[in-house]
């Protein structure tokens, strides 16, 4: 573990002229006029309620759903994320990884459920892996929900998102989109997101992204978010891949940290390790 952390630190230190995480400008469309509190509460209550099965959550490693000691690692990550977003007035967080199957969607769901256990926060989890969407099947959602339809203006968010409890809303996709890069590059996307934020006033919006090294979808969207968590899979992701992705992301947004996932040699309470 220390070896990986010091290798990441060394790679960062060796970058010549590369921008450092935390120093890049925030997105420019961040000025959003929020609805009055009563309207926000009404908008949340109008979202269709999501009922979840504990077995399905367990099967998909969504340990933060129930809380307790199994969720300690995710709850620690939640605290670090909250500290950073509050200190920097950030509201949009993307979760990505260099290659596929590092655990992005699992982490996005865990972080969202961990945040949902804090009643004073409102969280949106939006699926932007438009090539291999998986949040719907991980949650066992059978509704016809399409966040890509919301993005392209053919569907309304209020009927394409589901509310879990009073303060977590999730929008998923039924299958791959035909034109993910074009959709993510569309000039309408900033307005769609600003409109959703104005109506639901989330503390944090989490975007579950696609892996960076297989398409340019995540880079096409990176300028829309305030910060990014990069998920690395132990024994699979290389330092070189982490360095390349950090460098590319830091040119567009703030890299909040690298989450080292799938570590086999840690206590069961630590599913994730967080570097920063």
**Binding site residues, ligand ATP, CB under 6 A:** 60-61, 97, 100-106, 129, 132, 134, 211, 261-262, 271
C-beta atoms surrounding 256 within 10 Å: 25
Say whether residue 104 binds Mg ion (CB under 5 A): yes
Secondary structure (H, E, C), 8-51: HHHHHHHCCCCCCCCCCCCCCCCCCCCCCHHHHHHHHHHCCECC
- We find the least distance from the C-beta atom of residue 230 to Mg ion, in angstroms, to be 14
- We find the least distance from the C-beta atom of residue 241 to ligand ATP, in angstroms, to be 13
Nearer to Mg ion, 44 or 113 (CB): 113
- We find the least distance from the C-beta atom of residue 211 to ligand ATP, in angstroms, to be 5
Say whether residue 110 binds Mg ion (CB under 5 A): no
| Positions 46 through 85 that interact with Mg ion (CB under 5 A) | none
| Positions 117 through 136 that interact with Mg ion (CB under 5 A) | 129, 134
* Binding partner of 61, given ligand ATP, Mg ion, none, CB within 5-8 angstroms per partner class: ligand ATP
- The pairing of strands 168-171 and 272-275 is unpaired
The 227-233 sheet, strands edge to edge: 162-164, 168-171, 123-127, 204-208, 92-96, 227-233, 254-261, 272-275
- What would the two tokens of residue 177 be? 């989109």
Say whether residue 173 binds Mg ion (CB under 5 A): no
Q: What is the Cα–Cα distance from 122 to 124, expressed in whole angstroms?
A: 7
**What residues make contact with Mg ion under the rule CB under 5 A?**
104-105, 129, 134
């Amino acid at each position: 573990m220390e070896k990986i952390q010091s290798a990441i630190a060394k790679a960062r230190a060796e970058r010549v002229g590369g921008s450092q995480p935390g120093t890049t400008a925030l997105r420019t469309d961040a000025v959003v006029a929020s609805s009055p509190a009563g309207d926000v509460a009404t908008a949340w209550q109008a979202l269709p309620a999501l009922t979840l099965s504990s077995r399905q959550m367990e099967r998909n490693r969504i340990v933060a759903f129930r809380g307790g000691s199994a969720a300690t690692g995710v709850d620690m990550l939640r605290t670090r994320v909250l500290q950073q977003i509050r200190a920097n007035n950030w509201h949009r967080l993307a979760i990505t990884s260099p290659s596929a199957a590092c655990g992005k969607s699992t982490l996005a769901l865990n972080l969202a459920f961990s945040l949902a256990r804090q009643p004073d926060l409102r969280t949106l989890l939006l699926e932007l892996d438009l090539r291999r969407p998986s949040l719907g099947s991980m949650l066992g959602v059978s509704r016809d929900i399409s966040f890509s339809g919301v993005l392209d203006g053919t569907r309304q968010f209020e009927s394409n998102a589901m509310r879990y409890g009073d303060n977590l809303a999730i929008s998923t996709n039924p299958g791959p989109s035909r034109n993910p890069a074009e959709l993510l590059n569309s000039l309408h996307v900033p307005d769609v997101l600003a409109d959703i934020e104005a109506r639901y006033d989330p503390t944090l919006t989490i975007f579950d992204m696609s892996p960076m090294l297989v398409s340019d979808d995540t880079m096409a969207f990176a300028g829309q978010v305030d910060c990014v968590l990069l998920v690395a899979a132990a024994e699979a992701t290389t330092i070189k891949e982490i360095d390349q992705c950090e460098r590319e992301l830091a040119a567009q947004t703030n890299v909040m940290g690298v989450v080292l996932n799938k570590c086999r040699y840690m206590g069961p309470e630590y599913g994730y390790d967080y570097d920063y």
